[in-house]
Amino acid sequence: MSYSDLIEITGRVNDFLNAGSVLSWDARTMMPPGGGESRSKQLATLAVAARNLLCSDEMKRAQEGAEAECAGMPEDSPEARIVAQVRTAIDYHERIPPALLRRKTELGSAAQQLWAEAREKAAFDLFAPALSEMVEINREMAQAIGFDGHPYDALMYRFEPGTTQDGLTKLFARLREGMIPLVRAIAEADQPRADFLYRDFEPEAQLRFALSMAERIGYDTERGRLDTTVHPFEVSFTRDDVRITTRVYKNFLPAALFGALHEAGHAMYEQGVDTAYTRTPLATDLVSLYAVGGVSFGAHESQSRLWENHVGRSRAFWANHMGDLRAAYPERLDDVSEEEFFRAVNRSEPSFIRVESDELTYDFHIMVRCELEARMVDGSLEVDDLPDAWNAAMKDYLGVDVPDDARGVLQDVHWSSGQIGTFCNYTIGNIMAAQLFDSATTQNPGIQRALDGADYTPLRTWLTENVARHGRRFSRDELLQKATGRPLDPEPYLTYLTSKFSDLYALA
């Protein structure tokens, strides 16, 4: 069998995964209440079919044939990378015992119910036994996958390959060094007014405005659409059908708009992948088994955070679009200036809840989770001691007293479904967004001038050229090296935060 067989079979794997994505999108946006039970079974069948086809004898023979066929090609050619990625993915999945995977899936649905009940009652004890078992399963997964340094490395591999516990520890230490002084200083400073964000805003108008802004920055609705959901997400069914969702609160304006800008950033990554990569492993994550063209979860997050924060929360954006916003809500915002609105959507204030936290404090929520996950995985923290450790870390980093476990250790669904090792993506995304934005605007000063004039094409073109079009051909750090001249580097992010929040809060 040959390279073309490999492409044909991986195309079918991609089809199964994309079909699963359609079913998931539907479940979160359109499905009537009754559909849940059968939908879970359909999703499970598709996931197993994708995994089994990937690890089939047919695929292995095709991979071997393709490897021989592509032996003389440059190591970073699309063909050589595809052949290598298929090999890596087969190895990865074959290391995980099916029985262990089944235990995880079966525990997952029971654990999610227990978690929901525990959160409802703010009673961690109800969830602790299931979480202990989930941690144990993840420890076994880590052993099966294998690692050089820390078992947590094996769990992060699926989401952010190459990330190590050691590297993360150093990265977080540097971030804290730069960010904690800002948080402390802001605690002493005056807060800008933000009352006008909580007025009545007609939901349909919010959605229309959010979509118009997503289109304005470059989201292509000929190849996408916007719907509402509970927890906003982006999902692609190949580069030519990439959908976004947002949530609308009648009495809180920023959610719908910034949700849409964030998801549009994710979406433009997928919409920008080279058409030649469609249905191939360069647009299919065969390790995480998601049909995406983004090279890592963190790289994906970099695009959403870049458009949401570096563009959407910039002074220039509101200088340009405050008029559009006022036009969308006649008489609602006539008393609010561009500068006031810009300041309001950049308010920073420590909170207990990750998903409600602002640009500056968000990463502390991530650090808490990653550090506690790593300690549970290596056995240095018992599940029973988790709430105390959580509350202590929140006090230490953000100075807040967690009022109860529902607003503390129980706030996220991730652990109950067995996801351990994915939170680091958010902070890596923030760092990478700043690094890319800094390089783009330094390499090409016309990009910032264009943004100042509400022209988003030069920035989008630079990101497509330097990030999106490559799909999964290059690793995250190869991509950063090519685009910015260096691997992941927190300094541009710290410089950006320091400059932005010093200005906003008139810090010394």
Among 41, 57, 148, 251, binds a second copy (CB under 8 A): 41
Note whether 214 binds a second copy by CB under 8 A.
no
Q: Is 348:358 a contact under the CB 8 Å cutoff?
A: yes
Note whether 326 binds a second copy by CB under 8 A.
no
Note whether 212 binds a second copy by CB under 8 A.
no
d(CA 353, CA 230): 16
Note whether 47 binds a second copy by CB under 8 A.
no
Nearer to a second copy, 26 or 94 (CB): 26
- Say which residues have a Cβ less than 8 Å from residue 345's Cβ, sequence separation at least 6: 197, 254, 258, 313, 318
Nearer to a second copy, 2 or 221 (CB): 221
Q: Which two tokens stand for residue 198?
A: 């909580």
d(CA 333, CA 202): 13
Note whether 34 binds a second copy by CB under 8 A.
yes
The CB-of-78 to a second copy minimum distance in angstroms stands at 19
Segment contacting a second copy (CB under 8 A): 32-40, 149-157, 371-379, 403-411?
32-40
Instruction: For residue 393, give the 3-state DSSP assignment.
Output: helix
Note whether 19 binds a second copy by CB under 8 A.
yes
The CB-of-30 to a second copy minimum distance in angstroms stands at 7
Distance between first and last Cα of the chain: 67
Q: Is 233:259 a contact under the CB 8 Å cutoff?
A: no
Exposed / middle / buried, residue 204 (Cβ in 10 Å: 0-12, 13-18, 19+): exposed
Nearer to a second copy, 237 or 364 (CB): 237
d(CA 445, CA 413): 42
Nearer to a second copy, 174 or 225 (CB): 225
Amino acid (one-letter) located at 62:
A
d(CA 59, CA 2): 10
The CB-of-465 to a second copy minimum distance in angstroms stands at 21
Among 31, 73, 100, 185, binds a second copy (CB under 8 A): 31
Closest among 146, 136, 150, 45 to 91, alpha carbons compared: 146
d(CA 70, CA 85): 13
421, HSE (Cβ side, Cα atoms, 13 Å): 27
Segment contacting a second copy (CB under 8 A): 15-23, 83-91, 154-162, 345-353?
15-23
The footprint of a second copy on residues 216-235 (CB under 8 A) is 220-225
Note whether 18 binds a second copy by CB under 8 A.
yes
263 catalytically annotated = yes
Q: What is the per-residue binding string for a second copy in 249-288, x denoting contact by CB under 8 A? A: -----------------------------xx---------
Instruction: For residue 75, give the 3-state DSSP assignment.
Output: coil
**What's the Cα-to-Cα distance from 457 to each of 176, 243, 261, 305, rounded to whole Å?**
34, 20, 15, 17
Which residues sit opposite 304 in a β-bridge? Answer: none
Among 1, 11, 116, 247, binds a second copy (CB under 8 A): 11
Among 42, 229, 314, 475, binds a second copy (CB under 8 A): 42
Note whether 7 binds a second copy by CB under 8 A.
no
d(CA 183, CA 348): 8
Among 12, 354, 407, 414, binds a second copy (CB under 8 A): 12
CA 456 to mean position of chain CA atoms: 22
Among 38, 57, 75, 331, binds a second copy (CB under 8 A): 38
d(CA 50, CA 196): 49
Q: Which two tokens stand for residue 11?
A: 């195309």
Total site size for a second copy, rule CB under 8 A? 38
- Say which residues have a Cβ less than 8 Å from residue 361's Cβ, sequence separation at least 6: 183, 348, 349, 350, 351, 398
Nearer to a second copy, 20 or 429 (CB): 20
Choosing from 58, 202, 222, 263, the catalytic residue is 263
Residue 232 phi, psi dihedral angles, 5° rounding: -55, 145
The CB-of-355 to a second copy minimum distance in angstroms stands at 27
Instruction: For residue 291, give the 3-state DSSP assignment.
Output: coil
Nearer to a second copy, 242 or 434 (CB): 242
Note whether 39 binds a second copy by CB under 8 A.
yes
Instruction: For residue 245, give the 3-state DSSP assignment.
Output: strand
Nearer to a second copy, 140 or 240 (CB): 240
Nearer to a second copy, 131 or 289 (CB): 289
Instruction: For residue 51, give the 3-state DSSP assignment.
Output: helix
Q: Which two tokens stand for residue 98?
A: 């099916």
The CB-of-45 to a second copy minimum distance in angstroms stands at 4
Segment contacting a second copy (CB under 8 A): 33-41, 328-336, 339-347, 454-462?
33-41
The CB-of-225 to a second copy minimum distance in angstroms stands at 5
Nearer to a second copy, 188 or 222 (CB): 222
What residues line the site for a second copy (CB under 8 A)? Answer: 11-12, 15-16, 18-20, 22-23, 26, 30-35, 37-39, 41-42, 44-46, 49, 220-225, 237-238, 240-241, 243, 278-279
Active centre residues (catalytic): 263
